[in-house]
Amino acid sequence: MIRLEDVTKIYTMGEVDVVALNGVSLEIQRGEFVSVMGPSGSGKSTLLHILGALDTPTSGRYYLEDVDIADLDDAEMSRIRNRHFGFVFQSYNLFNELNALENVMMPMVYARVPKRERIERAKALLSSVNMDHRMKHYPNQLSGGEQQRVAIARALANNPTLLLADEPTGNLSSVQGGEILDILCNLNDEGTTVVMVTHDLKVGSYARRLIALRDGQVAADQPVPERFTPLPSTILEGRSA
């Protein structure tokens, strides 16, 4: 599904070049649930942004279904982001002036889905994350966990092939976070490919595969040894417990 070859990302900050990713090569297959972990500054979010085509590599290649996305124009890339990728962020990123139903409908507006179909699908998605009773409420009337449920429903609006979640439980209590992780696991069981960035060893264990980054490089890439059991910290350094 996705293949990165020797991807490097360098940010220039004044007169200083900051290397966020340094020669990352990996593949993600359809149907996987992958945790991307590592210390602050290891390149986790940069990798997720590149996977979601929100950012471009400084060098290296990104193949989506064996197509080098560097060969695609802006219009095609916008279509891919809208139709094939779903994004869930730590801060929810909901539109404060729209209610839950309208927030979920928004990606379908850009995809030019007919209004009646938008409404019905948004209702069904909110129901699937147990938010059908809150669909007329605005973000400031919802708890953090409820906002994240709406954000997940919105990310699924256009039936994405890849769901990208950046610290999706970072602002939530352990109970609310567990509920969000259960939703992600259920989506993966139903066939959605999930890539999740997290710094939490317990959260990372919900995935089936771990990619650990350190200093912008892949330090470990392996199956999660015992699912739903907090990962040993040594695994993030490419060492077994």
So what's the pLDDT on residue 207?
97
So what's the pLDDT on residue 74?
87
The whole-angstrom separation of Cα 42 and Cα 236 is 11
Question: Please, which residues have CB within 8 angstroms of residue 239's CB and are 6 or more apart in sequence?
Answer: none
Per-residue pLDDT of 108-123, as tens digits, reads 998 899 999 999 999 9
The whole-angstrom separation of Cα 131 and Cα 155 is 14
Q: Is the pLDDT of residue 239 over 70?
A: no
So what's the pLDDT on residue 82?
85
Angstrom distances, CA of residue 172 to CA of 36, 91, 106, 148, 179: 19, 10, 24, 9, 10
Per-residue pLDDT of 78-114, as tens digits, reads 888 888 899 999 889 999 999 999 999 999 998 899 9
The whole-angstrom separation of Cα 211 and Cα 36 is 5
Q: Are 102 and 94 in contact (CB under 8 A)?
A: no
pLDDT band at 241 (very low <50, low <70, confident <90, very high): very low
When the pLDDT of each residue in the chain is averaged and rounded to a whole number, the result is: 93
Q: Is the pLDDT of residue 240 over 80?
A: no
So what's the pLDDT on residue 83?
82
So what's the pLDDT on residue 95?
96
- Mean pLDDT for the stretch of residues 159-173: 93
So what's the pLDDT on residue 99?
98
List domains and CATH numbers for the chain.
28-41+82-237 (3.40.50.300)
pLDDT band at 238 (very low <50, low <70, confident <90, very high): low
Q: Is the pLDDT of residue 162 over 80?
A: yes
Q: Could you tell me the pTM of the whole model?
A: 0.91
148 HSE (CA, 13 A, CB side): 24
Q: Is the pLDDT of residue 237 over 80?
A: no
